[in-house]
């Protein structure tokens, strides 16, 4: 039997990383996306005279406006995003989609339409996030 004292294993402490969830910037960017899509919807409503004049034209104009203005909102969010950018944009997208339940409650959007809106949110997040690289590069690229 070996009676030599055993050395306890040495563990290296984990280096702190600055990847905690920052609620403030996420909420700010959700508001930015909402403001831009609201402004786009307002412009469409004024320009088309609302859904009562030509419902199909209004819905198409609203869809195009939401894609354009939502992409602009996510582009700005991507430029303002703390690193890592895509992680931040995923949280902003989730926040924007979840707060879209307001439309279900007050604007006669069905639950199915809201759920399918997740595809739209992913689209504008991807477009806006990609475009944001034209304006601001990552300072600390991920490995």
First to last CA, the chain: 48
Ramachandran area for residue 140 (φ above 0: left; ψ -120 to 50: alpha; else beta): beta
pTM: 0.80
**DSSP, res 49:** T
| Per-residue tens of pLDDT for the chain, all 143 residues | 667 667 776 666 655 555 678 899 999 999 999 999 999 999 998 988 877 878 888 889 999 999 999 999 999 999 999 889 999 999 999 999 999 999 999 988 899 999 999 999 999 999 999 999 999 987 765 54
């Amino acid at each position: 039997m070996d009676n030599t004292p055993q050395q306890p294993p040495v563990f290296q402490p984990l280096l702190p990383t600055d990847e905690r969830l920052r609620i403030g910037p996420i909420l700010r960017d959700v508001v930015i996306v909402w403001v831009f899509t609201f402004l786009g919807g307002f412009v469409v409503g004024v320009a088309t005279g609302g859904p009562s004049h030509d419902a199909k034209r209004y819905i198409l104009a609203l869809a195009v406006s939401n894609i354009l203005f939502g992409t602009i909102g996510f582009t700005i969010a991507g430029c303002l995003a703390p690193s890592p950018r895509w992680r931040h944009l995923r949280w902003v997208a989730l926040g924007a989609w979840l707060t879209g339940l307001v439309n279900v409650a007050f604007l006669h959007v069905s639950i199915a339409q809201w759920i399918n809106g997740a595809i739209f949110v992913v689209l504008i997040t991807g477009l806006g996030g990609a475009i944001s690289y034209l304006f601001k590069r990552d300072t600390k690229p991920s490995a």
